[in-house]
Amino acid sequence: MDDSTGPRTLMLLGGNEWCPGAEVPDSWWLARAARPEVTVVTSAAQDIPDTQVSWAAAYFKELGGTVEGCLIQTREDAADPRLLEQLGRAAAIYLCGGDPGAAQAVLVDTPAAEVLRSAYHGGVPVAGSSAGAMVLGEDCLLPGQDFALRPGLGLFPAVVVPHWSGAGRRWTEMASRLGREREVIAIDESTGICWDGQAWSVRGPGRAVLVTASGELEVGEGRPSPPVE
């Protein structure tokens, strides 16, 4: 794939994927694909990958799209030529939510990660929800490992904190601490922060904010760094 062509499209959803409320960001994202065909990467959903694909299929059918699952559940899967070929021909790639630790352990530093980055740079719309959004960043926050930071897939330089409007005290404290030393984007459920190749916008019913040393700054008033080129 030629990674120098195509407008680049990235969407980070704050969670609650495949549910009513997220149609606005998801419709925007799907419309930017060459074909309305969504490939769902299920690495974060270790227990219910097939269920995630079924939910996604029912949801995107209402938006005029079709879905196929790319069940990359292990690091061996992330080097499987059959799955790499499937990922490489995707029209749009969506990383589902679940466990960010599982997504990070399965995907980072694998052939699948290289194919995904190449697809994004070639103009294939990429999205992630909750854990899927978290692992797309340069660093991924792992709540199951005492909120350690581990390398992510590196598509953008910020740390993502999803489910922001309902985040518990430990999450908000961690976001505030991290916000003193690095870029932190906190996103409400059903809400997407969307990159169109030139700028970020917020779509959906909730908020997306930069968490800084001085407090929260609405995306728009504050401008997150662009994705890594």
Q: What's at 171, amino acid-wise?
A: W
Task: Provide the pLDDT for residue 195.
Answer: 97
Is residue 11 classed exposed, middle or buried when 0-12, 13-18 and 19+ CB atoms within 10 A define those classes? Answer: buried
Maximum C-alpha span of the chain? 48
Task: Provide the pLDDT for residue 7.
Answer: 85
**Does 1 have pLDDT greater than 60?**
no
User: What's CA 93's distance to the chain center, in Å?
Assistant: 9
8 A C-beta contact, residue 9 and residue 226: no
Whether residue 4 lies inside any domain: the answer is no
Whether residue 152 lies inside any domain: the answer is yes
Residue 167 backbone class (left: φ over 0; alpha: ψ -120 to 50; beta: rest): beta
Task: Name the percent of the chain lying above pLDDT 90.
Answer: 93
Whether residue 226 lies inside any domain: the answer is no
Q: What are the start-end ranges of the H helices in 3-138?
A: 23-31, 49-62, 81-88, 100-107, 111-121, 131-135
Task: Name the percent of the chain lying above pLDDT 70.
Answer: 97
Residues in the chain: 229
Q: What confidence tens digit (pLDDT) does each residue in 52-98 have?
A: 999 999 999 999 999 999 999 999 999 999 999 999 999 999 999 99
* CA atoms of 107 and 159, how far apart (whole Å): 17
Which of 97, 114, 44, 36 is CA-nearest to residue 68? 36
Whether residue 111 lies inside any domain: the answer is yes
CATH code, domain with 203: 3.40.50.880
**Token pair 């194919």 is at which residue?**
115
pLDDT category at 220 given cuts 50, 70, 90 is confident
Domain count, the chain: 1
Whether residue 229 lies inside any domain: the answer is no
Range of the domain at 32: 10-218
Q: What confidence tens digit (pLDDT) does each residue in 85-133 have?
A: 999 999 999 999 999 999 999 999 999 999 999 999 999 999 999 999 9
Whether residue 161 lies inside any domain: the answer is yes
Whether residue 2 lies inside any domain: the answer is no
* CA atoms of 153 and 120, how far apart (whole Å): 12
Task: Provide the pLDDT for residue 5.
Answer: 58
